[in-house]
Amino acid sequence: MLGVAQKNPPDCARYCHLGIVLNPEKAFEVLDKGPETIAEGANEFRKFWGDKAQLRRFQDGSITESVVWAATSDSLWKRRLVVRSIVTHLLQHHFQLENKDFEYIAGELDISYRLTPIFRTDKMPENFKVEQDVDAEDTSLNVIRCFDDLARKLHALNDLPLEIVSIAGISPVFRYSEPVPILPQARMIGEQMYAMQVQRGVIQLGQSGKWPSELGALRALKMAFYIQIANLLREQYNLKTKVTYDGLLVLKQGYCFGIEMSHPKEVALLKKEKSERGLTQYVDCEASIALEKRHYILPKVTGALHALYQLHNSFGGTVMIAKRWLSTQFLDDGLWPEECTELLIAAQFLRAPAQKNPTSPQTGFIRFLQLLAGTDWRNELFLLNFNNAMDENAVADLEHRFSTERDIFPPLCIATSFDQNHMGNLWTSACKPNINVLARVTLLARHALDIIESALLSTKPFIKPGQIFIAPNNGYDFVIQLKPDLVSNSWAHEFGSSFTVRTRPNWRLPLADSNFLQNTMEKLRDAYSDFAAFFYNPHGGKEIALIWKPDISKERDFKVNEMNGCALSTENSGKVFVKKEILMEDLKFILKDMYLRIGTVDEVLTASRTTLPTISKKTSTTIIEHFQYKTGEKRYFTNSEVEVSEVVTKKVKKQSKDLKMNTMKNFSKNKSAKSLKVNGLATKSKNINKKGKTKKLKIKKSVISDVATSKKQ
């Protein structure tokens, strides 16, 4: 338990809080073996465990008393709750307590990286079907196995001019750090490949002195290799491929992989420049550092974090919860790089002794919040010395430089033993994250920590995950609500938004590696970062929040290439000032085909509540079924948080009822008109018969009378 004092502590005579420290080597075992049946302790074992004790025979021929808590094939998140099953059974068996008499807090926040219940896996193809309660940790293992099989196939390509020496994954899924479940849903339609996520890998070819010394020619030769590899994969393994400018896309077992080729000469050519004297020199630039990080340093860090997960399997779940929390607070990769979260949590695991590391992701996430809430970013250096690759002298020199030359390091300083040439300036920069973002993260972490700690030491039920996974909407100046059809929903569990009400989920697969929303945010920040800060949720968020910069009202010098949203000053010649109205019109023009509405937080929220989708006869049932509040989600939200969904449900039901009544009225009108028409025809026929009955009718009438007479006789 967390040692936090309470203002109003509970009555100790009625309530008791207990904290359990688990042994990671034994805590997740699904089977407890007891003594043999004829042994002395067999009766005590059966008495202690009650009806859970049973005789089992094992492969070595022994027959012992045993207790089974879960299946060996169960997911890891289920096996993490074995201790909860044990404690619950003991309290019920020995103390006759019911579930309402106690609460075991564990794994409540793990829902954040589990598959959303809205997406039904029973409709998936049989070859790629997954369980409905699968989470991102389970799907990561499936992706890694598929990538390993693809790597073996690439190594077996013998018809290439140069052999493939190494293949390494660089996406977060290979570090067990991808918070969104990855489902085998990618597909090839015509010449286009569609996928929700693309998993990146880097290959390296053997040495050769025939690579060109010009950057454009080298990249053209890499493109030729991509084309040849794609042809060989299609011919030998019948895999669907597509060559792009950045690399090669491969579709395998429903997953989309992006293959890139690394060559050290490309990094050197990016560094190459000529001095004023005409001498050739090699100087680090932004492009060379980014390429070196992606192709040479990130694969090493990925391998180190993968090994850390094998040692502490709670590391992956901790990172996933932390990433989901940061994304729901509208902190995307452009403001807070995702590698920062992974390395900060890895630093916590490496600093603490192995016995004191958390065994559950939820506990690890709480410790991560404590790190964010209590760290002095100005005086804290996070150094990850993987495999002790840095000796004591190198570590001491770095710490001395950090303390004496603090201004040359970014606000958040993270260094690893793999990036000694760019020590402290590779994973973060002066603007990612900047001082304002660090302050924002600290405040959000303290707020979430207060909610969790007060709930842990309270006698009330534990918090709903939606209480900390829904970002507050105060403090934002404008909100841009995007069209739901343009933004695909995340496969992770969604907790809703405080800016808009829920809309129908969009499961359309985008073009592979398109990143529509991310590219839009990059363009907005490049053009208007001097005037406003932009925020969005990268995991299925359908709105962009905006905050004006404090110095937006100051006059600026006139520059031809910096006139976005500016007007000439009437007081000072040669000066311009920013008009918010012009900026908003610019944003509307840029996003004219993308946004649904733009306004303040209250305006957008009110409009989204009152505006409902048009209901047609064909889609009314589907819309009602979507907006119907799921009873299974009530344990993830409080009543106040689902009020909007219930209001929407009632309104849609009322519209559907009105539509049904109108349909019935129209049907009754048509029926009455039809009956009148039929009655009119009958009357007309009767009048005709009155004028003169035909001979046929007379014969028919006489036959009927004869039959009736015979029946009477």
- The pLDDT value recorded for residue 62 is 85
Q: Which has the closest alpha carbon to 200: 236, 250, 242?
A: 250
- The pLDDT value recorded for residue 660 is 55
Confidence of residue 663 (pLDDT cuts 50, 70, 90): low
Domain assignment of residue 203, yes or no: yes
Q: Do 160 and 65 belong to one domain?
A: no
- The pLDDT value recorded for residue 655 is 54
Q: What is the largest CA-CA distance in the chain?
A: 134
Per the CB < 8 A criterion, the answer to whether 329 and 444 are in contact is yes
Convert the pLDDT of each residue in 344-369 to its tens digit: 999 999 998 877 889 999 999 999 99
Q: How many domains does the chain have?
A: 4
Confidence of residue 465 (pLDDT cuts 50, 70, 90): confident
- The pLDDT value recorded for residue 11 is 55
* Residues 648-676, mean pLDDT to the nearest whole number: 53
- The pLDDT value recorded for residue 674 is 44
Q: Do 259 and 229 belong to one domain?
A: yes
Q: Which of 60, 89, 104 is the last residue of a domain?
A: 104
Q: Do 536 and 670 belong to one domain?
A: no
Q: Do 576 and 708 belong to one domain?
A: no
Over its C-alpha atoms, the chain yields an Rg (Å, rounded) of 34
Q: Over pLDDT 70: what percentage of the chain?
A: 83
Residue 430 CA to residue 330 CA, distance in Å, equals 20
Q: Do 56 and 167 belong to one domain?
A: no
Exposed (0-12), middle (13-18) or buried (19+): which is 355, by Cβ within 10 Å? exposed
Q: What angle do CA 170, 173, 175 make, to 5 degrees?
A: 70
Per the CB < 8 A criterion, the answer to whether 15 and 461 are in contact is no
Strands 478-482 and 381-384: unpaired
Convert the pLDDT of each residue in 70-128 to its tens digit: 888 888 888 888 999 999 999 999 988 888 888 888 889 999 999 988 888 888 887 78
- The pLDDT value recorded for residue 136 is 93
* Residues 527-546, mean pLDDT to the nearest whole number: 90
Convert the pLDDT of each residue in 379-435 to its tens digit: 999 999 998 889 999 999 999 999 999 999 999 999 999 998 888 899 999 999 999
Confidence of residue 314 (pLDDT cuts 50, 70, 90): very high
Residue 119 CA to residue 266 CA, distance in Å, equals 43
- The pLDDT value recorded for residue 556 is 75
* Residues 480-491, mean pLDDT to the nearest whole number: 86
Q: Do 512 and 591 belong to one domain?
A: yes
Per the CB < 8 A criterion, the answer to whether 349 and 359 are in contact is no
- The pLDDT value recorded for residue 659 is 56
Residue with tokens 């004591």: 392
Mean pLDDT score across all residues of the chain: 82
Q: Do 179 and 238 belong to one domain?
A: yes
- The pLDDT value recorded for residue 622 is 33
Residue 312 CA to residue 355 CA, distance in Å, equals 10
Strands 192-194 and 199-205: unpaired
- The pLDDT value recorded for residue 628 is 33
Q: Which of 283, 308, 332 is the last residue of a domain?
A: 283
Q: Do 580 and 661 belong to one domain?
A: no
- Grouping H, G, I as helix, E, B as strand and the rest as coil, residue 648 is helix
Q: Do 88 and 148 belong to one domain?
A: no
Domain assignment of residue 558, yes or no: yes
Confidence of residue 296 (pLDDT cuts 50, 70, 90): very high
- The pLDDT value recorded for residue 123 is 80
Residue 65 CA to residue 34 CA, distance in Å, equals 5
Convert the pLDDT of each residue in 242-289 to its tens digit: 999 889 999 999 999 999 999 999 999 999 888 888 788 888 899 999
Confidence of residue 516 (pLDDT cuts 50, 70, 90): confident
Domain assignment of residue 6, yes or no: no
- The pLDDT value recorded for residue 554 is 79
- Grouping H, G, I as helix, E, B as strand and the rest as coil, residue 370 is helix
End-to-end C-alpha distance for the chain, whole angstroms:
100
Dihedral over alpha carbons 240, 243, 244, 250 (to 10 degrees): 30
Q: Which has the closest alpha carbon to 18: 95, 106, 132, 143?
A: 106
Domain assignment of residue 116, yes or no: no
Domain span at residue 54?
31-104
Confidence of residue 514 (pLDDT cuts 50, 70, 90): confident
Per the CB < 8 A criterion, the answer to whether 293 and 426 are in contact is yes
Q: What angle do CA 552, 558, 560 make, to 5 degrees?
A: 110
Strands 566-568 and 556-557: unpaired
Phi-psi region of 169 (alpha: psi -120 to 50; beta: other; left: phi over 0): beta
Helices (H) and strands (E) in the chain, counts: 19, 21
Residue 682 CA to residue 644 CA, distance in Å, equals 57
Residue 610 CA to residue 357 CA, distance in Å, equals 49
Residue 616 β-bridge partners: none
* Residues 42-53, mean pLDDT to the nearest whole number: 90
- The pLDDT value recorded for residue 270 is 93
- The pLDDT value recorded for residue 657 is 56
- The pLDDT value recorded for residue 71 is 85
Domain assignment of residue 62, yes or no: yes
Q: What ranges make up the beta strands (E) of 593-691?
A: 595-599
Answer yes or no: is pLDDT of 376 > 70. Answer: yes
**DSSP secondary structure, 118-142, as one string:** TS-GGGS-GGG---TT-BHHHHHHH
* Amino acid symbol at 324: R
Domain assignment of residue 146, yes or no: yes
Q: Do 193 and 271 belong to one domain?
A: yes
Domain assignment of residue 539, yes or no: yes
CATH code for position 229: 3.30.460
Residue 21 CA to residue 702 CA, distance in Å, equals 102
- The pLDDT value recorded for residue 215 is 93
- The pLDDT value recorded for residue 122 is 83
Q: Do 42 and 160 belong to one domain?
A: no
Q: Which of 611, 643, 669 is the last residue of a domain?
A: 611
Domain assignment of residue 419, yes or no: no
CATH code for position 484: 3.30.70
Q: Do 38 and 149 belong to one domain?
A: no
